[in-house]
């Protein structure tokens, strides 16, 4: 298929390591995200929102689950308060029954205190179980809502967006990032709230009841705060780099799997493995740096409170010896400090989980915030019975990342019911022009008209019921033959009508081979239809376009893998079944051109001639040059000679 040199399509194919530079995100230092939607530092920019405001963007998705999440946090807080109450009971036990000595034999008071401590422990365990019951289920609902919203937006975004974004980056956002956010909502957020509350309440109790000892413990909070702040800044950058590198690695796997035949055919499996290993090793080093940063802060957050308690113990013993504090109060102080120490020590893990979640939120909304530049009009025009007249009026088109226009002031009329072949040298813009009719791209200037109505004034769904496309790159889905062919069929058909339409579309596309598959039209043809030959895939893709019953049919060289006789049979049946349908055929073979009513010549982004094949051969030198090139290419590559070869991997077909 001829494409503009500026059209960004290379990312869908594997690139051997020996001939390519490493991916941008593979650097060992924290850097800006590699995705097109981010630049200038991404989340590490000084203009980036705070972590709190970034995570607050989850509220619309989490709102339905908020009551259960809040209930879970309340239960966790109750568990924490129960734990903080135990030291108060211990203080009374030490200053009461234990201080009185065995002489008084106050076993009743002692037994009551032990029972109270046991009851508080059981209450704490019960609240923890209640917390888990409240938060587990809503977390999965939030994840599902966010995933649905992302997929819905991806389907709405124009083709230009998908030209720029690697599939692995989108996959990692929809799977691993959302899974991370679910775990944070279920575990990280409640832990963060409860730990913060426990520390604040616990330290307040220590200051109120411990006096000087409480101030000693509070002094240890100063280095802890500084360390946590510095950790958050460094860890956020490493977390972003790690998740971007994971997306790049997923892209490498995706491209290698899709291009496995190319890698094997050229013997580049070892190079692909070396490239993958190198990327995986860079990701491993990033993860090691991430783990090292977390372990360093965890060690500090463990050591500082313990050292603080050591100092407090010395001070407390001196105070107890001088009668400034009771033994029971001293025991209660250290028991409370032990409860407070647990969330302080876990602060590193809680912060890292929160910062990972913040990075996941940033990456998720990078996609969700991408505006859809190809939208429906506020008041769309409706075409009840379109004739099929198509006109490109003074059309100019430029890809977003290209300095020069691919199409320059193109004027072309496709009369209703006629077949027009579009020819030109490679890179002249033929495929780009074809994509403007169904509005897969919007024109930069000028307009594309269907029955004198600008296609931008039509709802996209309605436009694409009138205009069907069959691409040269025959994409099929891992579904049955029936589902693939009837993908764009008119809605509301009853089962007999759908079966009749299926049979007709397969007949027109000369796709009777499907009846020889293991389960006929119910055979699952495998991912991208790779269990079929190239010609078989193209015929099914053509059958899919025919089954849509369009008024305008755009064929972007969909018959390139067919032999000339099959192509002629398909064209003949197309004329019979789609009588009155306007057809635009991007032609790469003289045989295709000869079957058209009219031929339009595209040269350097402009239509330079329109006429019949015979007239153009007689009067247009450039057209003769193009045709001679098409004939030479057909002879050199043997186009269509191997269409009837058996499927390369028939064992991959299976029952739907």
- Find the mean pLDDT for residues 583-609: 86
Question: Has residue 403 got a pLDDT over 90?
Answer: no
Residue 370's nearest CA partner among 62, 160, 620 is 160
SS (H, E, C) 447-467: EEEECCEEHHHECHHHHHHHE
Dihedral pair phi/psi, residue 557, rounded to 5°: 50, 50
Which residues on adjacent β-strands are paired with residue 469?
554
The pLDDT value recorded for residue 33 is 40
Q: How far apart (Å, rounded) are the C-alpha atoms in residues 432 and 628?
A: 23
Q: In the structure, what pLDDT confidence band is assigned to residue 154 with cuts at 50, 70 and 90?
A: very high
The pLDDT value recorded for residue 99 is 58
Dihedral pair phi/psi, residue 651, rounded to 5°: -70, -10
- Find the mean pLDDT for residues 155-183: 90
- Are domains 58-368 and 399-655 of this chain identical in fold? no
Is 399-655 a domain of CATH 3.40.50.300? yes
The pLDDT value recorded for residue 21 is 35
Q: How far apart (Å, rounded) are the C-alpha atoms in residues 486 and 621?
A: 43
Strands 654-655 and 523-524: antiparallel
The pLDDT value recorded for residue 234 is 85
* DSSP E strands, 451-590: 453-454, 467-470, 523-524, 552-556, 582-586
Q: Which residue is it, tokens 């401590």?
A: 117
The pLDDT value recorded for residue 10 is 37
The pLDDT value recorded for residue 97 is 63
Query: How much of the chain exceeds pLDDT 90, in percent?
Result: 25
User: Are 363 and 173 within 8 A, CB to CB?
Assistant: yes
Report the range of poorest mean pLDDT among 185-189, 200-204, 327-331, 363-367.
327-331
pLDDT digits (tens, 9 = 90+) for 505-532: 999 888 889 998 888 999 988 766 667 8
Question: Has residue 648 got a pLDDT over 50?
Answer: no
Query: Mean pLDDT highest for which of 194-198, 600-604, 625-629?
Result: 600-604
The pLDDT value recorded for residue 576 is 77
Q: In the structure, what pLDDT confidence band is assigned to residue 117 with cuts at 50, 70 and 90?
A: confident
Report the range of poorest mean pLDDT among 11-15, 61-65, 149-153, 515-519.
11-15
**Average pLDDT across the chain, whole number:** 81
Question: Has residue 6 got a pLDDT over 70?
Answer: no
Dihedral pair phi/psi, residue 153, rounded to 5°: -70, -40
- Find the mean pLDDT for residues 4-27: 36
Domain definitions of the chain by residue range: 58-368, 399-655
Q: How far apart (Å, rounded) are the C-alpha atoms in residues 67 and 467?
A: 48
The pLDDT value recorded for residue 106 is 61
The pLDDT value recorded for residue 442 is 93
Question: Has residue 646 got a pLDDT over 60?
Answer: no
Report the range of poorest mean pLDDT among 111-120, 290-299, 401-410, 563-572.
563-572
CATH architecture of 58-368: Up-down Bundle (1.20)
pLDDT digits (tens, 9 = 90+) for 449-472: 999 999 999 999 999 989 998 887
The pLDDT value recorded for residue 91 is 73
- Its pTM stands at 0.75
Question: Has residue 437 got a pLDDT over 90?
Answer: yes
């Amino acid at each position: 298929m001829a494409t503009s040199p500026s059209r960004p399509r290379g990312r869908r194919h594997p690139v051997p390591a020996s001939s390519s530079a490493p991916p941008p995100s593979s650097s060992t230092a924290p850097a800006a995200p590699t995705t097109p939607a981010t630049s200038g530092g991404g989340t590490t920019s000084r203009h980036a929102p705070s972590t709190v405001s970034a995570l607050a963007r989850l509220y619309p998705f989490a709102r339905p689950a908020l009551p259960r999440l809040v209930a879970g946090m309340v239960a966790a807080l109750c568990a924490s308060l129960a734990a903080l109450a135990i030291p108060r009971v211990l203080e009374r036990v030490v200053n009461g029954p234990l201080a009185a000595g065995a002489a008084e034999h106050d076993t009743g008071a002692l037994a009551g205190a032990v029972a109270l401590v046991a009851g508080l422990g059981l209450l704490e365990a019960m609240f923890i179980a209640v917390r888990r019951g409240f938060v587990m289920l809503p977390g999965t609902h939030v994840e599902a809502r966010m995933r649905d919203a992302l997929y819905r937006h991806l389907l709405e975004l124009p083709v230009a967006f998908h030209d720029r974004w690697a599939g692995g980056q989108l996959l990692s956002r929809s799977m691993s990032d959302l899974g991370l956010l679910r775990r944070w909502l279920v575990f990280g957020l409640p832990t963060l709230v409860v730990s913060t509350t426990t520390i604040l309440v616990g330290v307040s109790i220590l200051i109120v009841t411990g006096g000087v000892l409480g101030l000693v413990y509070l002094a240890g909070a100063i280095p802890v705060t500084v360390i946590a702040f510095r950790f958050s800044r460094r860890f956020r950058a490493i977390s972003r780099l790690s998740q971007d590198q994971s997306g790049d690695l997923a892209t490498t796997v995706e491209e290698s799997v899709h291009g496995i035949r190319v890698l094997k055919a050229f013997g580049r499996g070892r190079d692909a493995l070396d490239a993958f290993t190198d990327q995986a090793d860079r990701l491993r080093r990033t993860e090691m740096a991430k783990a090292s940063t977390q372990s360093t802060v965890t060690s500090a957050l463990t050591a500082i409170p313990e050292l603080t308690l050591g100092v407090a113990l010395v001070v407390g013993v001196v105070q107890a010896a001088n009668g400034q504090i009771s033994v029971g109060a001293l025991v209660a102080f250290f028991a409370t400090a032990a409860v407070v120490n647990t969330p302080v020590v876990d602060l590193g893990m809680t912060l890292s989980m929160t910062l990972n979640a913040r990075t996941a939120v940033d990456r998720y909304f990078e996609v969700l915030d991408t505006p859809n530049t190809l939208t429906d009009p506020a008041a769309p025009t409706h075409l009840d019975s379109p004739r099929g007249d198509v006109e490109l009026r003074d059309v100019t088109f430029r890809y977003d990342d290209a300095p020069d226009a691919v199409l320059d002031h193109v004027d072309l009329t496709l009369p209703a019911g006629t077949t027009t072949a579009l020819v030109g040298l490679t890179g002249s813009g033929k495929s780009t022009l074809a994509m403007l009719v169904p509005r897969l791209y919007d024109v930069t200037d000028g307009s594309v008209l269907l029955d004198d109505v600008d296609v931008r004034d039509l709802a996209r769904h309605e436009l694409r019921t009138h205009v069907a496309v069959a691409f040269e790159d025959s994409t099929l889905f891992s579904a049955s033959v029936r589902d693939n062919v009837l993908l764009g069929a008119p809605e509301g058909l009853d089962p007999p009508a759908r079966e009749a339409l299926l049979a007709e579309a397969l007949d027109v596309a000369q796709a009777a081979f499907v009846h020889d598959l293991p389960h006929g039209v119910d055979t699952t043809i495998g991912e991208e239809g790779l269990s079929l030959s190239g010609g078989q895939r193209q015929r099914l893709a053509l059958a899919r376009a025919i089954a849509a019953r369009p008024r305008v049919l755009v064929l972007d060289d969909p018959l390139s893998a067919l032999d000339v006789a099959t192509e002629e049979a398909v064209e003949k049946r197309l004329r019979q079944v789609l009588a009155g349908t306007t057809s635009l055929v991007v032609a790469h073979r003289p045989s295709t051109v000869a079957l058209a009513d009219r031929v339009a010549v595209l040269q350097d982004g402009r239509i330079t001639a329109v006429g019949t094949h015979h007239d153009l051969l007689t009067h247009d030198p450039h057209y003769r040059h193009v045709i001679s090139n098409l004939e030479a290419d057909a002879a050199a590559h043997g186009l269509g000679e191997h269409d009837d070869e058996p499927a390369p991997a028939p064992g991959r077909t299976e029952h739907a």
